[in-house]
Structure 1
Amino acid sequence: MGRSILGLTLEDNDIKAILLQARVKGFDVIQCFHIRIGEKAASEVVNELNQQVRIRPDSVYLTINTSGISFRVVRLPFKDTKGISKALPFELEATLPFPLDEKVIDFCYYWNESSAHVITCLLPRETIRIWLEELKKVNLEPEVVDVSIGPISNYILKQNEHNNFFILHLSDNVASISIIEANRIAFMRQINGSIRLNTNDQRDLLKFVNEVKMTLTSYKSSFSPSYAPTQGYVFGNNSYDFSLLGFFEENLGIPVSSRDILSSYLADFPKPVIPELDTSLVFPTALLGIELRPAFDLRKEAFPRETKLPSLLRYTRLTLILLALLLILWGAREFVNVNIMETRFQKLQTQLISIYVSTFNETKPGQDPVASAKAQLKEFRKRFKDVDLKVSSIKTIDILHDIIQNIPDNIKVELDRVFVDSEAIQIVGQSDSYNSIDILKNEFQSIPYISESNIQSAKADKTGKNINFEIRLKRKG
């Protein structure tokens, strides 16, 4: 099963919901419904919503389309997000008829060749706080909070073939207009009042159309003189009334149509779908979790989400006790291991000293063992020069001494192995050059009990820096 997503749209009189199930390609509409708010408290509405949701969604997204939303457009000399965030409150404070701390602010930046400005959205802080708290209680906390016109605009932007157009979203008490220029949201405005328009009430209808016309003209004169919309889209109340669409088109001088966003996805959905529900407008809200970006995120800064900890960490006291016990057990084990290692090391050290002392029995107590060994080797050398030894009486340690003493100081040689038997001595090692190996062979030839010195092999290693060699010394006798 794919990820399930619940899209919610909050309006003045009701809350609309759509539940989607994502598939590999596309998604299925599982459920769509609305709940009338009326005189109900937010907690009561949310509990009713929670009871109607058939499956627990993986993600929840909320958009708001209530009266009290305010849009402002501000020109700033920079477009970096941090700079705008700092400067925006100072720019807005003098132009607002209400205290700024009562509102949640977010913005999006628009620019083209002729214009650059910040579109700011302000929403009552208390409205967002109440609904977030109630939704969180039933485990339906939204990840993103946006205004409804935002995801609707982004959805049409993704589907549309026009570069410049406008969108009207009509609901019971408010209407929102979004102006699109060069395939970007360039302007937003909310028009308050009764928006249940019909062609029988020409006066209210004409008044509303003039508001739309004034908004388009104001944007053109203030921000983009070259702006000319080629299409208008109407969603919401009476948006499928052809005479209403014709009235808009006649008075605005622009082609105006409506678009059923959700119809293609409801082919297999149980009928009937309530016409006035207009669930299609909640659909882009749910798509925030799949393929759309929000125009604004009104909870990110003002109401940041708490990071969900693993269930084990939610029981803090028990978790700390368990961690303390684990640390104690681990510390005890490491302490025992260290003691065992120290005991073994001391035994090994004692054994090594015993072996060394038995080999070099002339070492004095407290004397450096290495210095003592060197002194004893020199003494062996003197003895060897003064006494005419037979080959059979030469000891292995004397042979090793003679080999080491016949290595010149000016050449670099490392001995790996020395094999000694009654007939020959085999020496395996490394040197830095072939010339050094030849010098070494000649030096070994001068040892009194060596009759012949031959290089059996000399070959460079893989790095090419060292020469591996084998020299065979034939013993006299």
Structure 2
Amino acid sequence: MAQRILALELVGDRVRAAMAERSWNSFTLTGMYDKVRADDEGDLSGALSRLIVEAGQPDIVISALPADRVVKRILELPFKDARRLHQVVPFALEEHLPFPVDNGVVAFARVGREGDHTLVIAAMVRKTDLQQHLDLLHKAGLDPRTVTLAPLALAAMFTRAKNGNGAKPMAHLVVEGDESSTSVVLVDLAGTPRAMRSMAGGLMTSDGSPVAPDAAAPILNSVRQTLLASREETEQTEVILAGAAAAYPKVRGLLSDSLAMSVRDGGAFDYTGIFEGPVPNTGKFSSCVAMLMGELPSQPLALINFRQGEFMFRGRIRGDFSPFYTSGILAAALLAMIVFHFALGVSANLHQLSKINAQIAAVAGPVLGETDPADAKAQLQSGIIKMNKRLNLIGGNLTHSPLDTLVAVSRALPPRFPVQMADVQIDSQGLRVTGQADSFTTVDQAKEALDHSGFFGSIEVAHAKAGSDPSKVDFRMDADFKDAVPSNDRGEE
């Protein structure tokens, strides 16, 4: 979901603004607006409200304090730890001021490094001025997340725009001006701000014409002094005029004649690679466009933000999930640990299964050949059953072989004994014989003969009865081996 970002600059009786839409991978400039305070309005809240009606309600608001209300210093500190910077910068700034910082809000931005040293731009605004600025925006229903310093953002934007277009690196002096104020920022070849000044009064009147020479002289002298303070050669420094004054060639000519240098229109820069789609001449909206770059999806500008301490921004922003980042990171870490633990367990189980399958193949291979280890047990059981059946047929798995049993029976019964055996069954327990005899007495004699052989233990005539032939007796006799285990498998027929 795209977020709408509004950058505001309050200059005299005017409100200027630029609106952008940001998604996760794009940043588009959607509009620029200029509203003037009406004669019957006591402040700029009415102009702000009309601007919001035209532009639409934003999700994020960035606003700029008037540069002449802010005290600024460039400090070089002998360390780069962010925590120490937050602790030390207010005291380091106080050393350069003729008054304490207790009644002000101090903010800073890192602008460069030299070895182990850190260059910062430290700025202070009085708490009463910051509160008045916030109250004015609250009247129009706006709660800015960032309250910054526009000239610093403007200088950083021109540095990035020039480097991004492959231009030769140059130092540049950025002059932002309108009818009520003028700001100057000097940036070296590396893009590091080296000087910053803000002055009351401008080089142009409300109709765009240059001011009188005596009114312009102090401003031009300050610009010239700032330029001469640069360590770079004058011909290596490019002068850029931004703000409302940039739109008027006569004002650019006034500045060019004073410095004896060409002056570039800051509104005509190429913003390819920063914004999606075409960007018109930004002109007097350059500062607002520069502040928007503090919300770029990637590599945003580092803006000074005075919303510190008691003035900390505490609102909610649509589409901003930063309050859930910590919980999200912890949940992602926990999920990663669970997935890792699960994957580790699966890997260990697969390794163990591979070893088991190898052992099964080693054991079952000589018997079954190549086979699926998962089916080896069933195949072995099936093979054992088949082998047992075959052994049973030949008596290979019996305590007494069928041949030995038949020999014992043959020896026990006398030759030409009047008994005909129709069926002889031999199992692990003993012998089962069915057949015919010439009389009941012959059956008893057969039982006694088997008993006297000593080969059998318990001998029982299961039944004996007259057969279909009146001269014959049908019988069945069960003879257990001496060492046979009693079993109930044998039932009566």
- TM-score normalized with structure 1 length: 0.56
Map 1:255-404; keep pairs closer than 5 Å. 255-261=262-268, 278-290=284-296, 292-299=300-307, 303-306=311-314, 308=316
Shift of 1:75: 1.9
Checking the alignment, whether the CA contact within 8 Å between 2:266 and 2:286 is kept in structure 1 is no
- The superposition leaves residues 311-330 of structure 1 with CA deviations (integer Å, 9 ceiling, x where unpaired) of xxxxxxxxxxxxxxxxxxxx
- Give 1:16's aligned amino acid: R
* Structure 2 partner of 1:95: 96
Q: Deviations over 1:206-255 (max 9, x none)?
A: 3322211222333x3xxx46786421011235434434433433433432
1:203 aligns to what?
214
**Which residue in the other structure is 1:143 paired with?**
145
CA distance in 1, matches of 2:83, 2:40: 41
How many Å apart are 1:153 and its aligned residue? 1.8
Shift of 1:281: 3.7
Distance 1:63 1:38, change over 3 A: farther
CA positional deviation for 1:92: 1.8
Cα shift at 1:77: 0.7
Alpha-carbon offset, residue 100 of structure 1: 0.7
For the pair 1:11 / 2:11, whether they are aligned, the reply is yes
Partner of 2:86: 85
Deviation digits for residues 161-199 of structure 1 (CA, Å, limit 9, x no counterpart): 343111011134332111122342423423323224465
- Structure 1 residue 8, shift from structure 2 partner: 0.9
Point out where structure 2 has 5 or more consecutive residues left out of the alignment.
Answer: 319-355, 389-396, 399-426, 428-493
Shift of 1:455: 7.4
Q: Which amino acid letter does the alignment assign opposite residue 194 of structure 1?
A: G
The aligned amino acid for 1:5 is I
* Residue number among 167, 172, 175 corresponding to 1:168 in the alignment: 175
Shift in CA distance, 57/202, structure 1 to aligned 2, threshold 3 Å:
same
Which residue, 121, 124, 130 being the options, matches 1:122?
Answer: 124
- Are 2:261 and 1:254 aligned? yes
Aligned length: 331
Aligned to 2:75: 74
User: Aligned pair in 2 of structure 1 residues 468, 169: CA closer, same or farther (>3 Å)?
Assistant: farther
Structure 1 distance, partners of 2:359, 2:377, is: 6
- Could you tell me how far 1:45 is from its partner in structure 2? 3.8
The residue identity in structure 2 corresponding to 1:208 is I
Residue 57 of structure 2 is matched in structure 1 by: 56
Give the match for residue 470 of structure 1.
380
SS of residue matched to 1:182 = coil
Distance 1:97 1:39 in 2: 40
Q: 1:461 to 1:214 in 2, by over 3 A?
A: farther
Q: 1:262 to 1:33 in 2, by over 3 A?
A: farther
Checking the alignment, whether the CA contact within 8 Å between 1:168 and 1:178 is kept in structure 2 is yes
Per the TM alignment, residue 136 of structure 1 is displaced from its structure 2 partner at its CA by 4.7
Residues 109, 304 of structure 2: 8 Å contact kept: yes
- Distance, in Å, in 2 between the alignment partners of 1:467 and 1:131 is 85
Is 1:184 aligned with 2:196?
A: no
Letter in 2 for 1:157: T
Question: How many angstroms apart in 1 are the aligned matches of 2:159 and 2:77?
Answer: 26
Partner letter of residue 9 of structure 1?
A: E
2:77 is paired with a residue whose SS is coil
2:15 partner amino acid = I
Change (3 A) 1:103 1:15: farther
* Alpha-carbon distance in 2 for matches of 1:262, 1:45: 32
The one-letter code matched in structure 1 to 2:180 is N
Q: Equivalent residues in 2 for 1:429-448 (5 A)?
A: none
Larger deviation: 184-193 or 40-49? 40-49
**C-alpha distance after superposition, 1:410-464 (max 9, x if no partner):** xxxxxxxxxxxxxxxxxxx9996899x69xxxxxxxxxxxxxxx9744879889x
- The answer on whether the counterparts of 1:46 and 1:134 sit within 8 Å (CA) in structure 2 is no
SS in 1 for 2:68: coil
How far apart, CA to CA, are the structure 1 residues paired with 2:227 and 2:269?
28
The aligned counterpart of 1:109 is 110
Distance 1:158 1:279 in 2: 17
d(CA) in 2 for partners of 1:301, 1:171:
32
Q: What's the CA shift string for 1:11-36, capped at 9, x where partnerless?
A: 34332223345699764544512232
Structure 1 residue 133, shift from structure 2 partner: 4.6
Q: 1:306–1:195: structure 2 CA closer, same or farther, 3 Å change rule?
A: same
Letter in 2 for 1:470: L
1:89: Cα distance to partner?
A: 1.7
Pair 1:116–1:28, CA change in 2 (3 A): closer
CA RMSD of aligned residues (A): 4.6
Task: Note the C-alpha offset of 1:38.
Answer: 8.1
1:233 is aligned with what amino acid? I
Take 2:310 and 2:179, find their aligned partners in 1: how far apart are those partners? 28
